[in-house]
Amino acid sequence: MSQQVITLSHPSKSIHGTVQLTGSKSESNRALIIQALGKGKVAIQNLSDAFDTVTLAAALQKAATPQDGFNTIDIGPAGTAMRFLTAYLNLIKGNFILTGSERMQQRPIGILVDALKTIGADVHYEAKSGFPPLKIEGGMFQGKDKISIKGNISSQYISALLLIASSLKKGLTLEIEGELTSRPYVTMTLNMLKEVGIQSEWQNNTIHIAPQETQEATIYVEPDWSAASYWYAIVALSKAGSIVLPGLKKNSLQGDIAIVEIMSHFGVASSFEQDGLHLTKVSEPSGKTFFDLKECPDLAQTVVVVAAALRRDISLTGLETLKIKETDRIAALQMEIGKFGAKLIEDGTTYHIKTDEVFEPTDVSFATYEDHRMAMAFAPLSLIFKSIKIEEPHVVEKSYPDFWKHLADQKFIID
């Protein structure tokens, strides 16, 4: 979808149907790195068609193609691809320039680069220290086999290191300093490695992976729980709603399954049936007012928008990483929910949503800040307001390319 702005509405405000979600972007991107290091032993089923995953797959193919001089790999706005490739490219023969979009060149990578240099990687900054683009000389000769890294930074840094650990000559011991943010994503990485025979040990704050060979295996990528979160919001904001999401598992590797419990407090009941996950609008939302999103920060925009729309004054914590995502998501949320009178107030590490001045705007256009999650988090507001506008709707291609098509299938009107 290439329009600069779309108008979104839903005449009946009621939702009933089935939505087949794409494969998890988080699982898919890990699977691609595991496959690339697996020497032909790993197959993947139900790979995501998200832009980030397509971009990473193309980058891995380009990296595997010998070139004279430096091989420039541009991953655009694909953050996971940047982190994973920063680690992966050190293991293969060749010289690389790893770069991305203007926003990507503003997102810090220094902590991961420093960790890689500790074990012998040859990585340099092409422009500003601590940020992409990176100059990487592959075929790393490993020196040390132990890294210390802060736990309250992006879990993708940690996962990037863990994904290459078994391919290092000496393996890797990773010491996590302080409290670990987004623990489920690290657990996901280790569980996916286990699926291909890579064993790990995790005791207290230390993870150890010995050098070992990948075994023959097929990785099945579960549908995306992050994508499912927007359908929870849609059901929560509908007048009446029921949605079936096939393929989602009760015992998921994905941390965003936390949306099941969170949205139970906003009037959405979940039931895992043979044909998939059933979401149903119920009339008994709880009075819970405090939510810790430390292990699922990608759900923050969805939760903030739903709470603001339902006029629920709640408090949130665990949002430390939101300021270094595709955009400063805290600032973006404050600006956009302010367009209908809601406030997101920062109080140290806690954020308070205030809704006493919420009103229904007659003509409102929400900016998306080159951030896919902003577009999808705000789209369900068309079930509360008569209509809304979404700017730069194509940003959803990053993780959920069929989002607008799926909305149209559920009787949303998109002009």
Question: Could you read off the pLDDT tens digit of each residue along the chain, which spans 415 residues?
Answer: 446 999 999 999 999 999 999 999 999 999 999 999 999 999 999 999 999 999 999 999 999 998 888 999 999 999 899 999 999 999 999 999 999 999 899 999 999 999 999 999 999 999 999 999 999 999 998 989 999 998 888 789 999 999 999 999 999 999 999 988 778 899 999 999 999 999 999 999 999 999 999 999 999 999 999 999 999 999 999 999 999 999 998 989 898 999 999 999 999 999 999 999 999 999 888 999 999 998 898 999 999 999 999 999 999 998 887 776 667 898 999 999 999 999 999 999 999 999 999 999 999 999 999 899 999 999 999 999 999 999 999 999 988 999 999 999 999 999 9
Residue type, 246: P
Residue 326's pLDDT is 66
In degrees and rounded to multiples of 5, residue 388 shows phi and psi of: -140, 165
Residue 14's pLDDT is 97
Longest dimension (CA), the chain: 64
Burial class (CB in 10 A: 0-12, 13-18, 19+), 320: middle
298 in active site = yes
Global pTM?
0.83
Residue 125's pLDDT is 97
Long-range contacts of 332-340, Cβ-Cβ distance < 8 Å, separation of 24 or more: 332/367, 332/369, 332/371, 332/374, 333/300, 333/301, 333/304, 333/305, 335/367, 336/366, 336/367, 336/374, 336/378, 337/304, 337/305, 337/308, 339/364, 339/366, 340/308, 340/309, 340/364, 340/381, 340/385
The CATH architecture of the domain made up of 5-22+223-414 is Alpha-beta prism (3.65)
Q: Residue ranges per domain, the chain?
A: 5-22+223-414, 25-220
242-255 pLDDT, tens digit each:
999 999 989 898 98
Tell me the C-alpha distance between 170 and 168, whole Å: 5
Residue 325's pLDDT is 67
Whether 5-22+223-414 shares its CATH topology with 25-220 is answered: yes
Residue 1's pLDDT is 42
- In the set 52, 256, 298, 371, the catalytic residue is 298
Residue 314's pLDDT is 97
Cβ atoms of residues 354 and 335 within 8 Å: no
Fold classification of 25-220 (topology level): UDP-n-acetylglucosamine1-carboxyvinyl-transferase; Chain (3.65.10)
Tokens of 380: 């369900």
Residue 3's pLDDT is 63
Residue 283's pLDDT is 83
Tokens of 314: 């709640």
Cα 373 to Cα 126, 326, 393, 397, distances in angstroms: 30, 9, 11, 10
Tell me the C-alpha distance between 305 and 397, whole Å: 21
